[in-house]
Structure formats: C-alpha cells, structure tokens
Amino acid sequence: MGVSKIGFIHTIQPDWIQHVETTVNVDSDGNCGFRCVAAGLGFSNIDGWKRVRTAMVNELQENQEFWKDLLGSYFDQVKGDVQFFKGKDVGSDKWMTLPDMGLLIATTLNVVFINVSYGCCMIFLPLHNAPPPMKDRVVIGITNVNDTHWVRVIFKPNAPVPPVFLVWKTFANVDAQGWGFSINIQAQVPVQSFHLHMPFVVDLASP
C-alpha cells in the first residue's frame, strides 16, 4: 500500500482511515473545534466559529431544562465553556470537548456530527428535529490531534457508520428518532444512505 496523503492520519481511528477522503486543517487558536463545525456548514472563516458558539448558547438557554436533565452537573460547565467569544488566547477550559458537546452541536445545527479520533469513534445525531430532506442533510467529520487541536475530516463515498452515542437513544424525541433509521451523508461526496438500526451496515440504494 502506498504512502497516505491524508494529513493527521495518525489521529484517525485505524479502521476509518480507508474511508477518509481528506482532512482540512483550521486555525489553531482555541476555537479550532468550532471552526471545523463552521467550515462544515460553509460559514465564514473569520467569524463562523462565533456563529456556532452563539447558536449553541442560544440552544442551551431556550431548552435549559432539557439540557440540565441530559448534562446533569456538567450543564453549567458546558455552558460556560461555550459562552466564550474571544478570537485568540482561548484557554483550554474553553475548547470544544467531546463527547459532552457532541449532541449539543448536532442538535443546535441539525447536522450529523462524526468523531473519528483514535480510540473514540462515534456519531452524534440531533435530539429535537426530524431529518430534513436528503439533499439538505449535512455531515461534519472531525478528529483530535494530540488532545490540543481539532481537524475537519471529509469522508469518501460509501463510508460506514460508527456507533451512535448511546445517550441519543434515551433523549431523542419522536421527530428526531427518524435520524436513527436513515441518515444521508453529504460531506462533499456523492449522496449515500445509511441505516443505523444495523451498525456498520451501509444501504447503497438510491434515495
């Protein structure tokens, strides 16, 4: 096998390397995780990270009781970590962290959020909303570099589906349960349909 041209390949779960098209680095300023999410949504490289943080704070405030129930004693910590809007000198206590922010990101932005970091490969799905039409569904992939940096991951067609973060099954409402049967991954690759009731099985039927 030839030498891989994928950057940060050592950070990706080994079984997933073959399914990665490329990785995209972002500014390493403490907002890198939020920058990866912003890039996946096509937000500005300048202040997109701030839009993501703001949306997450709004979600926590508007559905406070729900998130207090889900996050428990971590609610105030997560809210404080997200509610930080400096563009530089961001302390490690204000970085994006997983898995505690995974469902919040997926739910706030109504996206499929996948972490393929070495030793921590899982998928986060929205908790409140039904899946949009397939053409409008968005996936955002991410991997962690040495516990200090996040990098965006773009997948190849026919990539498998990692395990769903277990808490999702407990807290997803009736509308959001639709994500658990079929999600469409469109991270700058051809459309494909995944069925999560059978982990790691891919349905290649045209939508």
Q: How would you write the chain as a 3-class SS string?
A: CCCCCCCCHHHECHHHHHHEEEEECCCCCCCHHHHHHHHHCCCCCCCHHHHHHHHHHHHHHHCHHHHHHHHHHHHHHHHHHHCCCCCCCCCHHHCCCCCCCHHHHHHHHCCEEEEEECCEEEEECCCCCCCCCHHHCCEEEEEEECCCEEEEEEECCCCCCCCECCHHHHHCCCCHHHHHCCEECCCCCCCCEECCCCCCCEECCCC
pTM score, whole prediction: 0.83
CATH code for the domain in which residue 67 is found: 3.90.70.80
- Domain extent, residue 59, equals 11-203
pLDDT digits (tens), the chain, 207 positions: 333 457 788 888 888 888 898 999 999 999 999 999 999 999 998 899 999 999 999 999 999 999 999 999 999 999 999 999 887 778 888 999 999 999 999 999 999 999 999 888 899 999 999 988 877 889 899 999 988 999 999 988 778 778 888 889 899 999 998 887 655 333 322 223 332 222 222 222 222
Structural domains of the chain, count: 1
**In this structure, is residue 139 part of a structural domain?**
yes
**In this structure, is residue 22 part of a structural domain?**
yes
**In this structure, is residue 158 part of a structural domain?**
yes
